Structure 1
Amino acid sequence: MKLPALVRVFALLAVTCSLGLVEASAHAAAPAGPTDDAAVRKALEDEMARSLTQLKLGSEAPPYFLRYVVVDSDRSWVSARLGALVDEDLQPSRTLHIEVRVGSPDEDNTNFAGSSPGGSATVTREDDYGVLRRDLWQLTDREYKDALATLARKKASRAVQAAEKDKVPDFSKAPVVSTVTNKAVPVADADRAKLKELMLKLSSIFREFPKVDSGRVSSVTELSRRRLLTSEKTWTDERRSRVRIDVLADTIADDGQQLNASLAFTASFTASDTASLPPFEKMAADVRALAKNLTDQRTAPQAEAGVASVLFEGQAAGQLARLLLAAPFSGQPLPRSPGERMATDGSNSFAEKIGLVVAPKWLSVVDDPTALGPNKRLLGSGYDTDDEGVPAERVTLIDKGIVKTLLMSRAPRKDLPKSNGHGRGGASIRAAATNLFVTASGGLARKDLLAAAVRSAGPKGAVYIVRQLSEASGIGRGQTIQARIAVRYKDGKEEPVRGLSLEGFAPKKLKKDLVAAGNDPFVVEDYAQSIVTPALLFEDVDVGRPNDKNRTPPLYPSPLATSPLATGAAR
């Protein structure tokens, strides 16, 4: 009697600890070869060619697609608190990502709940041809076996379900490209020394604010190189460099409520070094403003529950745009799940809304991985080709309030059959935003935005200005988000408040309650994703208070409040 496919696969895996046709022993001597920079590409090409011709388990099919990625990273960081060094390190690394697909583009081992088409491993940083080939062989062998088992489970699950109408393939075609780009500027020892001194100076500012319990400033510099090879002969070699400075402070209010706030200063090295960062005076002023806001919130009143108009500006506007406009535009298909047709994922909020109005007609959204920021420099999250080797494309997501398309990887949808260069990730790829630009035609100056907020709130309504949110990972049907830094705007004055909870935020709120936007863009930048957006004004926002249990405040004051430490060691 013929065994079912799933049983055959696991039976073969149980008796096969390594692929005999591929290698006689995991401990065999590594093949000799070049040891210079060209060794990496040659090792990738040679081992991929061997895998495509020899990698096979019994009667099972060989891979129909392979993707090898080598990512080199030279990362250094410095952390300081109150003008004193906390941590300093320099760490070079090399990570190997491998994607293995078995079956066919119509149906393979991907797009199935719990599946991953590949794996990753940290490998030697030396450009040793033989060692790298051995690492590639071991990881490819493992991922091929996993891919066979996943495909068998997927077919077994499909066999007991009703046939799908208009079934969409699992993998789309993409152009074969060969690109080499270098937008990195090396970080010299002198640059690291300057950053270290900068961390000490910025962190010492918190000595001026003894009611801030902790103030930490950290810098990270990174030079990265990503080399990618596919079995379709796509080759990309891309280098980038970036520097980031993060500031994090926290304290406890008199009633025990935990308060914290953060800042991020980011810059991409293009034609300069650490001079690409904002001037010290600007960063110092922002750190002092953060510390003062946090100090004021210790004694600020709790926000009142009710309905209000809320102006999100600066960092908060970028954080909100990320939640409402970045994740919902991922066109990644929902994975099939055993026992049901599709899994669920709240990030696909706009998947069925192409051609529909989801925002005011004055709002437009574009994602462009190659675009420059408002100050005409590269954004830290940008790239020329995505993590599948597909050239990046400028994609208009919303035009005058109407959804035009989604961000796509090589996992197609029925109405979007090909990638637009937004596949992100290492071994497992997902369509995601990169450099998201939110624009508003007829945007208002700040004083006009505040006037619009007062009008929309009405004579009895409250107006809040939110400058920073607690981070959240995504939006489903609607969720409550917490304001870290907020003020109530009343009679032309700003009054600090704390404990401001903003309820019911979901993408549908863009159409229903977004009433105005500013005319001055703000950048929230990260390695993975950057958001450029003006201030955003929402009306009819349900305001509540957090339900978190308060901590017991310290029994006696910080020594900085009563001793020469407050200024004596400041730099």
Structure 2
Amino acid sequence: MKKISGLVLLFVFATSLTNAQNIEQVRRAMRDEIKRSLQELQVASLQKPYYIEYTLTIRQSNNVKATLGSLVESSSALVPRLTVGIRVGKPEFDNTNFFDVSLSFFGSSDDEENFKNRRVPMELDYNAFRRELWLASDACYKQAVELYAKKESSVKNRSRLDTTYDFTLLPPVTEIDTFAIPAWDKKRFEELVMLTSLAFTKHPNINASSVSMEYLPETVIYVNSEGREYVKTELQTGFEIVCSTQAADGMPLAQMYSAYAKHPNDLPWRDSLARAADMIATKLEQCLTSNTVEPYSGPVLFEGQAAAEVFAQMFAPYVATQRAPLTDRGIQDNDRYTAFQNKVGARVMAEFCSVYSIPKETTFNKTPLFGSFTLDDDGIRPEKLTLVDKGYLKTLLSSRIPTRRIKQSNGRQRGCAAMFDVLQFVCNDKKKEADHKELIKRMAKILKDRDLQFGYIVRKALNQNILYTTLFSQTSGDFPYSLGESTMNLLEVYKVFPDGREELVRGTQAAGMAPSMFKDLLAVGKTPYAYNFLAPAVTSPYISGGSQYLAASVIVPDLLFEDVEIRPLEGDFPKPPIMNSPMSTK
């Protein structure tokens, strides 16, 4: 066996912006332009800035992709991007937490004057970078005063019941959290995805397949008007294997495997990836001849990856703070992941369950944790938090944007909003823990009490990031989507009978899913599963202007629920190809 290696610790950013001397030059330019803007940036009779922040992100995006042993994509791009944030008014009431779709008063949405992820040249001296900061600050300020005026007008004739501040101020601090960035070995990883994708040449019943790898190292330089500054280095590495096909009745079917880590050396062994590709292809071919299901409601056991996905999709997003923005019609209703916003102190899980946020833990049982971090986007170092204690919600993950229940940041600002990181599910009652056989026995008892002939075991659920990116592209949008936040696409599901016998089925969705289901959790497995993934941002990027997906990890045991609804995939499916795959003739 040969592990992915040969990575030499070198700075891949061999440019003027990222050596120590010029990082300090960038920070000096930021400080000087902030000082000048605070003094001079004002339109007569309009509000002056009370807070300014500059973020320069220098990211190298490296991607390779292969299909059936052939390389179909290989790219590398190094792009520095500048983001400016300006607040006018005062922390009690400023231009933020207000949603407006028409930003045209000053033309501040003009591409030549953009201030969010503004692309800047790689080679910049002090004066050239000051010019970029000046132009971006000008555009940002114009939008800020426009939004402030609209927000002020919208509340002028309304009685405000919620007077929570828009922002919390912090003391100055300087943090340096950097390390040498591993070089991208393009040839090695091209070879890796090509060799892994060869596994699908042995499976002619698979209509489409892809193996891709992405490596995203970045350096972030941050300065704000409070005197808070930091420079940090972050890594993201992902390896995804996705395949899809159609049953004889046209039903789209898919399988996936993913591995995420910070350092490329922390990915699985080369031969492990090849075995994973062969295993998901074999499982998908088995699904072609398996039976479909009828609507079902009863006990369901989620194991391994599927248990982690249930927790990741149906519980984790709800433990981050969200603030419904004002609009010109009042407070904008936001039902996305808001069920826990007013439930601090209430029971949200079974009383034998606790949940902890442990962002500084880098491994669990030798598995590297993708969601770990040491410094959030506000320059705050996070600490361990007890989110749920014996079933009761104790707090939420928060940023500097206060809400009614959570007024201060606990260092969870990532991607422009509060976001979950590494969440650990812990069982506090040994009587509620059981091995696989015992969990099946407990399920059998419920089946007997409810006069049901069988239950279900779910061993793999579809990840949302893969669904909306790779699988959408691979199937040209024909793969059935789960509609709403209460449904999940399931990939590997088995009928399980009281005697323990299992039967693979295809084309299933879990429905009626909600965070409240964790209040009725019956029992859990004895072995926790550490699962790394790219999680959709809790706060929509259309509101926050931030990242769409962020690194996350959950540590979860198998989960036995008393009542889950299993539905068949229904609808008009596209007709399968008329001829067999040309791979079947080889």
TM-score (norm 2): 0.84
Name the residue aligned to 1:528: 551
How do residues 92-491 of structure 1 correspond to structure 2 at under 5 angstroms? 92-114=78-100, 119-164=116-161, 167-189=163-185, 192-269=186-263, 274-376=264-366, 379-425=369-415, 429-441=416-428, 442=430, 443-458=433-448, 460-472=452-464, 479-490=486-497, 491=499
Q: Deviations over 1:414-467 (max 9, x none)?
A: 332110011122xxx221112222222333323333333333333524322222
Which of residues 47, 52, 57 in structure 2 aligns to 1:71? 57
Give unpaired runs (5+ residues) of structure 2.
Answer: 1-19, 109-114, 469-481, 535-549
Q: Deviations over 1:369-418 (max 9, x none)?
A: 22223145653333222112222232211111110001111111233211
Contact 1:336–1:343 at 8 Å: present in 2 too? no
Task: Give secondary structure in 1 for the equivalent of 2:226.
Answer: coil
Which of residues 556, 559, 564 in structure 2 aligns to 1:541? 564
Task: Give secondary structure in 1 for the equivalent of 2:579.
Answer: coil
Task: Give secondary structure in 2 for the equivalent of 1:64.
Answer: strand
Q: Supply the distance in 2 between the matched residues of 1:181 and 1:39 (Cα, whole angstroms).
A: 18
Judging changes above 3 Å, is the alpha-carbon distance between structure 1 residues 57 and 181 closer, same or farther for their aligned structure 2 residues?
Answer: same
| Aligned partner letter, 1:522 | A
After TM superposition, give the deviation of residue 184 of structure 1 in Å: 4.8
Name the residue aligned to 1:508: 516
Q: Supply the distance in 2 between the matched residues of 1:123 and 1:454 (Cα, whole angstroms).
A: 62
| Aligned partner letter, 2:388 | I
Task: Give secondary structure in 2 for the equivalent of 1:528.
Answer: strand
Name the residue aligned to 1:11: none
Task: Give secondary structure in 2 for the equivalent of 1:479.
Answer: coil
Contact 1:182–1:238 at 8 Å: present in 2 too? yes
Contact 2:346–2:392 at 8 Å: present in 1 too? yes
Task: Give secondary structure in 1 for the equivalent of 2:277.
Answer: helix
Name the residue aligned to 1:567: none
Q: Supply the distance in 2 between the matched residues of 1:157 and 1:302 (Cα, whole angstroms).
A: 53
Task: Give secondary structure in 2 for the equivalent of 1:186.
Answer: coil
Q: Deviations over 1:32-83 (max 9, x none)?
A: xx98343221221221121111111112221100111111111211111111
Give unpaired runs (5+ residues) of structure 1.
Answer: 1-33, 564-571
Q: Supply the distance in 2 between the matched residues of 1:251 and 1:220 (Cα, whole angstroms).
A: 24
2:499 matched to 1:499?
A: no
Q: Supply the distance in 2 between the matched residues of 1:259 and 1:380 (Cα, whole angstroms).
A: 28
Q: Supply the distance in 1 between the matched residues of 2:483 and 2:585 (Cα, whole angstroms).
A: 48
Name the residue aligned to 2:35: 49
Name the residue aligned to 1:27: none
Judging changes above 3 Å, is the alpha-carbon distance between structure 1 residues 461 and 389 closer, same or farther for their aligned structure 2 residues?
Answer: farther
Task: Give secondary structure in 2 for the equivalent of 1:290.
Answer: helix
Which is further off, 238-247 or 401-410?
238-247
After TM superposition, give the deviation of residue 229 of structure 1 in Å: 0.8
After TM superposition, give the deviation of residue 471 of structure 1 in Å: 4.0
Q: Supply the distance in 2 between the matched residues of 1:416 and 1:400 (Cα, whole angstroms).
A: 21
Contact 2:68–2:197 at 8 Å: present in 1 too? yes
After TM superposition, give the deviation of residue 358 of structure 1 in Å: 1.2
Larger Rg: 1
| Aligned partner letter, 1:484 | L
Q: Supply the distance in 1 between the matched residues of 2:195 and 2:245 (Cα, whole angstroms).
A: 21
Q: Supply the distance in 1 between the matched residues of 2:65 and 2:484 (Cα, whole angstroms).
A: 39
| Aligned partner letter, 2:256 | S
Judging changes above 3 Å, is the alpha-carbon distance between structure 1 residues 45 and 285 closer, same or farther for their aligned structure 2 residues?
Answer: same
Q: Supply the distance in 2 between the matched residues of 1:453 and 1:282 (Cα, whole angstroms).
A: 33
Task: Give secondary structure in 1 for the equivalent of 2:169.
Answer: coil
Judging changes above 3 Å, is the alpha-carbon distance between structure 1 residues 461 and 99 closer, same or farther for their aligned structure 2 residues?
Answer: farther
Contact 2:322–2:341 at 8 Å: present in 1 too? no
Contact 2:305–2:460 at 8 Å: present in 1 too? yes
| Aligned partner letter, 1:469 | A
Contact 2:439–2:523 at 8 Å: present in 1 too? no
Name the residue aligned to 1:62: 48
After TM superposition, give the deviation of residue 472 of structure 1 in Å: 4.7
Task: Give secondary structure in 1 for the equivalent of 2:363.
Answer: coil
After TM superposition, give the deviation of residue 514 of structure 1 in Å: 4.8
TM-score (norm 1): 0.86
Q: Supply the distance in 1 between the matched residues of 2:222 and 2:456 (Cα, whole angstroms).
A: 48
Contact 1:396–1:405 at 8 Å: present in 2 too? yes
How do residues 32-47 of structure 1 correspond to structure 2 at under 5 angstroms? 36-47=22-33
Contact 1:326–1:432 at 8 Å: present in 2 too? no
- Identity across matched positions, percent: 29
Name the residue aligned to 2:527: 519
Contact 1:175–1:390 at 8 Å: present in 2 too? no
Q: CA RMSD in A?
A: 2.4
Task: Give secondary structure in 2 for the equivalent of 1:322.
Answer: helix
Contact 1:476–1:506 at 8 Å: present in 2 too? no
Contact 1:325–1:507 at 8 Å: present in 2 too? yes
Judging changes above 3 Å, is the alpha-carbon distance between structure 1 residues 77 and 477 closer, same or farther for their aligned structure 2 residues?
Answer: closer
Which is further off, 255-264 or 128-137?
128-137
Name the residue aligned to 1:25: none
Q: Supply the distance in 1 between the matched residues of 2:273 and 2:49 (Cα, whole angstroms).
A: 52
Which is further off, 486-495 or 404-413?
486-495
Judging changes above 3 Å, is the alpha-carbon distance between structure 1 residues 478 and 72 closer, same or farther for their aligned structure 2 residues?
Answer: closer
Q: Deviations over 1:528-566 (max 9, x none)?
A: 322222222212112222223211011111111121xxx
Q: Supply the distance in 2 between the matched residues of 1:504 and 1:135 (Cα, whole angstroms).
A: 50
Alignment length, in residue pairs?
520
